[in-house]
Amino acid sequence: MDIIYNLSLVILMSFFAIIAGIFEDLESDVASTSNPNSQVQLAPQVGNLHKLFNRAVSGEPLLVGTMAVIAGAIAQVLLTLNQHLLVVLVVSTGIATGIQVIFSITSYMGRITSQALYNQPLFMDVLYKHVPTAAAHAFINLFSITVVSYIMVYMLTPSIPLTLPIVSLLLGLSLGSIGSAVGDIHYGAEKLYQHHKYGSGIPVSTNGDITTKEALGSRNSIDVVNFCSKFAGPLTGLCFGIIIFLNFWIFLVFNVSTALIVSCILVIGIMILNYILERKSRSNYGKYEK
């Protein structure tokens, strides 16, 4: 019965992990948080004025980890005060989202005003459109991370021997890293550089030479989210969900030594499949640079 109970919790955790991954990646796309942000930052310096949201002060792992640990710490305090679980999840996530909104507004305005030397305007409609969208995505992301952390600490048998804020921090750092490694690949080169050949890379000579026009008017980060919601967001969520599921499933089904062997076999198999997929993609859609 313990195995069935734990496997049911692992499936539930994986579901929330998928949701967290999808909305983390899309939230970062709204704000140009991670890798492609440097190209958005460089654009005005090479004469490409834009209406993309430009927030990043640090990368996704630090940002998501910080906000997740804030939500986890508040949730821990409320749980010690014997508050209802749903109230704990909503209040802790809401406060963390509010902090992230303040961070987004101040960092965006600071970054854009610092580019006044290059005649980059501060568009207030960018704030009005992007901040609520980013906040909605951030709330769902942080809510899901807090739920997964709660299940690990309070419901699994045996439970994770860490406090709720620490587990939230680790999950936030992991998810932010996955968003940078998985989601941004399907955003930076493909969406910001649509006028460059697929697979050609981004040479130094084209840094900041991003595409700033959409089919209807100026491109903004909402257009980027529409693009990423088709592939990059779901792929990020699937990656995070698979990691959570396999990590717990393997050790629940096998003993420790056997689980380590199975894990190594899975990693090697995934690496081989990834190599084959990349070579096939490059050969079909673009040049593969040796």
* Residues 16-62 pLDDT 10s: 999 999 999 889 888 876 656 777 888 888 888 888 888 866 678 88
Task: With CA atoms as reference, report the closest residue to 21 among 151, 160, 140, 149.
Answer: 140
What tokens appear for 66 in the block?
Answer: 């910080």
* Secondary element (H or E) of residue 112: helix 85-113
pLDDT one-digit tens code per residue, 179-234: 888 876 666 556 777 777 666 666 777 778 888 887 778 888 888 888 888 888 89
What tokens appear for 181 in the block?
Answer: 């490694």
Q: What is the pTM of this model?
A: 0.87
When mean pLDDT is compared across 132-136, 201-205, 286-290, the lowest value belongs to 286-290
Report the percentage of the chain scoring pLDDT > 70. Answer: 90
* CA–CA dist 4, 118 (Å, integer): 61
What tokens appear for 274 in the block?
Answer: 């990834």
Length of the chain: 290
